[in-house]
Amino acid sequence: MIPAHFTVAKNIILAEIPFFLALYLFVVAKTRTWLWWILCAVFIAFLPNAAYTLTDIIHFIGAVQSGTHSIAYLVFVLFPIYLLYMVINFQFYVISIQLAHNYIKQEGYLKLAKWFIPLIHFACAIGVYLGRVQRLESRNLFEKPLLVMKDVWVDMTNLHSLSLILLFFALFYGLYAIFAHINQRIWDKRFAPYWHAMQRVKQTS
| pLDDT tens by residue, 118-143 | 999 999 999 999 999 888 887 888 88
Q: What percent of the chain has pLDDT over 90?
A: 64
Instruction: Classify residue 52: in a domain, yes or no.
Output: yes
Q: 2 in a domain, yes or no?
A: no
- Does this model's pTM top 0.85? My answer is yes
Residue 188 is given by DSSP the state I
Number of domains forming the structure of the chain: 1
- Pairwise CA distance, residues 200 & 187, whole Å: 18
Mean per-residue pLDDT over the chain, rounded: 89
In a domain, 142, yes or no: yes
Cβ atoms of residues 130 and 151 within 8 Å: yes
Q: Is residue 150 part of a domain?
A: yes
Q: 32-41, 141-150, 168-177: which range is least confident on average?
A: 141-150
35, pLDDT greater than 70: yes
Has residue 183 been placed in a domain?
yes
Closest CA to 97 of 33, 173, 32, 161: 173
Each as own residue / partner, the long-range contacts of residues 133-142 (CB below 8 Å, 24 or more positions apart, any chain) are: 133/161, 133/164, 138/14, 138/45, 138/46, 138/48, 138/49, 141/45, 142/45
Question: Is 3 a member of any domain?
Answer: no
User: What pLDDT, on a 0 to 100 scale, did the predictor assign at position 8?
Assistant: 77
Residue 158 located in a structural domain: yes
- pLDDT at site 204: 67
- Residue span of the structural domain in which 53 resides: 8-204
Asked whether the predicted pLDDT for residue 112 surpasses 70, the reply is yes
Is position 1 within any domain? no
